[in-house]
Each structure stands twice: as C-alpha cells, then as structure tokens.
Structure 1
Amino acid sequence: MKTFCTVLAASIAAITTLIMANNEPNSPVSPDQPVTDAEACALPSHADTSALDAFKKSDSEWRKILTADQFRVMRQHGTEPSFRNAYWNNKDKGLYLCAGCQAPLFASGEKYNSGTGWPSFWDTIAPENVGRTIDKSYGMTRVEVHCNRCGGHLGHVFEDGPRPTNLRYCINSASLEFVPKADIEERDLSFPMVLTRSPFLETGIMMDKMTPQSSR
C-alpha cells in the first residue's frame, strides 16, 4: 500500500507539473527575434548545466563512453545536422534513453514529425528526468533541456507543439539511445531516481518494471 501511494503521489505530481509548466518562469519562451522552428533548433546551446551534473565524470571519462559526435553535442552543447541524424524519422515503437547514462527520457508514443529534421516529442516520460535551463545565446531566449541525471545536453523545448501539452521537445539524436519495444524487458532499466509513468504514455510500453536503486 505504501509503494502504491508513493507511485500515485509521484504520478499526480508529474501531471501537475505538466499542467503548470506554462505558468512557470522556466517554461519555454518565444525567441526575442523571429526565427523559424528549424533555425531555433539548429543553433547550439550556451546554457550552463554543469551545476546539475549529478552523474559526475571528467571529460576524459566521457570521451571513453561517448562517440565524438555524442561528446560534442552532449558535453559541449553542439547541434547535429537536421535530416541527417539517426532518429528524426524513426517510426519504430520503443523508448528513448539518455545516451550518456541511459536514463529514460521519451517514448515513441510521444514522438511526432515537426518538420524540423530533428526528433521531436510533445512530452517526456517523466518531468523529473529532463531538466530545463534558460539559454539567452544568439540574441534570443530559449529553454535548453538536458538529462537531469548526467547533465547531458539534449536540445531545446518550445511552446509550438501539438496538444495536449503544446510543447515541442527538439532533441538531438546523438543525445539519445533508442530501445525497441521488443527489447525493453531484456534491458536492466532501473535508475537511482524515481520514475513516474507519463499520463500520455503509449499503451503497451509500461514503465512499471523500472524500479529505483541506490546506485548504478
């Protein structure tokens, strides 16, 4: 009963976070100068997320874990080319994990074609897994998003997405690891942070098997 109440409370908190996001000062904001959706996604990020890096590793350690492209995007806040990346047009069902620490970030049921050439999602699996930081580079105000576990740069989030959230998470494929639906149960998908089930998660891709653990 205690576990059930804990999960229920976390789920309610996740839903409340989604509803209140537009009223928070860190919610996605429009650019200060007019740019297209693709242009806003294409610009690198200069948001400082180093203080949020709870999964501490040195640059030399990250270079052993990540490919050169992944390191440039995730640790140096770079941006990969549009339409020339692994997942922009991926239609397979499954989960998208952080390429740096395998924290669950997005599900295929929340992915849509935004026309920008980058993987786009209208929601996260759990709000606490994706952090936000205001990015004021290039004469505009954007909201940079990163993995809340390792601090790896993911992309940006905008307020021009589809219902029910009206959000567009514009994410670099290099920041993601895709796990097909058929392989989910074979993976050890457990994390030291509490994972709530997204209220809009695609039927058939359940998060119940992911349980917290003290270390990884």
Structure 2
Amino acid sequence: MNMEWFTIIRSLGIWLDGQVSWLKSKEWNVSLQQGKGTESPVLNAYHRFWHIQVTIVKDLSSSWELSELTFIVKNGTKKSQHVRVIVKKEQYVTEGIPVSMVSRTKQSIVTYERDRVTLLSTSFFQDHRYQLAVGNEKSIWNETLGVLTLSPIWRGEHLRMAVINIDLEGYAERIGRIWYITGHCEEELYIRHMEKWMEQHDTPSKQQLS
C-alpha cells in the first residue's frame, strides 16, 4: 500500500457505540485491489467485531488533495446499526498561516493558504444528518457521543472534520462521495462543488458499483 492510500485510511473511520475505529486500526482487515488501465483502484476493509464492510473506490486523480472517493458502508449483520462515518483531514502550517471556515449554506469546509484554496465536502444518499467543524481535535471532537462541537473558523494548524450519521438496516448499505477540490478562486471552487453536489443527489442510482 502506497503513502497515498495510507493517508486515506488514516483519515477515515467508523464510529459505533461510543468509540471510533479508524481504518488503519488492527480491527480492520484491509485489502487493496489496484486498477488496471482505466480501472479505478478499490480498497476493501472489514471490521472483525462490528461486521461492517467499507469499500472505497478512488478516482484516477494523482493526489489525495485532488481526489474524489466513492465510499460504501455495508452492515454485515441482520440487526440494525447506527454508525457514523468520520472524515479527518489534517491542516499544517507551511509557508503561510492557513485559515479554515465552515460554510453551512454550501455544506463544505474551505481552507485558505496564500494563493491556494481547498474545499472539503461529502454527500451520502438517503442520509443528510452530518456535522462539520475545524479546530483542535480535543476541543471539537467528542468520541463518546460521536459529535463535533460547533467551531466554524480556525487559524493555524488544525483539523478539518466531518461526521455523517447513517442508519443501516440489516445487511443494508449506503453509498456516498467525499471530495477535495483545489484552486485559486473561491467562487470557482464553489461552482465546481455545487456541480458535484447536484450530481450526487440527482443521479444516486448511477453511483452503484458495477
């Protein structure tokens, strides 16, 4: 597994019954199927105790900052489970001091760094309950409750986090997308972001794996 995929599994986790399990943890059996030619690489992860299956399909972008992921969560048991998908993206101080802001109207997190702007967002079909926050992990993330504290703006080194609530009936699955968009103009990013958002909600049936 290369560094790009390691970064991905470090950034994604599942919360259940008061604790979060990151995909990098030993509780997950993880396998990576590299795509051939124009095929997208696929990562499968199965939690040995919770019996939750996670499938991640990555587009063919060359970097995590520019990537778009299809994220599928499946309940491997006959009982209903309430889980939360956790997305955690670290933001370090480099040449300039970054500033991140949560846009509730645009349902995204936007980060400003010198001449670069990046946007983080997620969309899960049939489920619309989620939280976004930026800041220090200890101050914004309550693992016991699985919730984020309201923190709409942060300057300096911080985390960008998203929590998506998903109700899974027995053997049911949910599918969604997680994407990062990078550019130099905020308006341009929002246009691209809303195009992706509308695409996800207008054509959910097309997002199923073949």
TM-score in same-fold range (> 0.5):
no
Which structure shows the bigger proportion of residues in strand conformation?
Answer: 2
Q: Which has the higher contact order (CA 8 A, sep 6+)?
A: 1
**Normalization by structure 2: what TM-score?**
0.24
Provide TM-score, normalisation by structure 1: 0.24
Bigger share in helix: 1
